[in-house]
Amino acid sequence: MDLKLWQCLKEGKASEHIKRSSIDAQNFLQQYNLPQDTFEKVVNCIEAHHGTIPYICKEAEICANAD
């Protein structure tokens, strides 16, 4: 979920880590033929893990709680 956290911290841009992590994950996931709802759930897990945007699935809430 925090794929880009350390890079953003190093650059002094910690607030961008969610957006950057989401973009990188989306680029990675597009290599696979995932159903759209699965793709959206994974992206939501990344984007919502700090609770700043709504969870669209239980998996996202579980990830946030685990984080």
**Stronger pLDDT, 11 or 62, i.e. the higher one:** 62
Domain hosting 58: range is 5-66
Amino acid of residue 52: T
The C-alpha atoms of residue 16 and residue 9 are separated, in whole angstroms, by 9
Among 37-41, 51-55, 56-60, whose mean pLDDT is lowest? 51-55
Q: Domain count of the chain? A: 1
**Stronger pLDDT, 34 or 66, i.e. the higher one:** 34
DSSP letter at 39 equals H
| pTM of the full structure | 0.81
Q: Are 60 and 45 in contact (CB under 8 A)?
A: yes
The C-alpha atoms of residue 11 and residue 45 are separated, in whole angstroms, by 24
**Each residue's pLDDT tens digit, 3-47:** 666 575 677 876 777 888 899 999 999 999 999 999 999 999 999
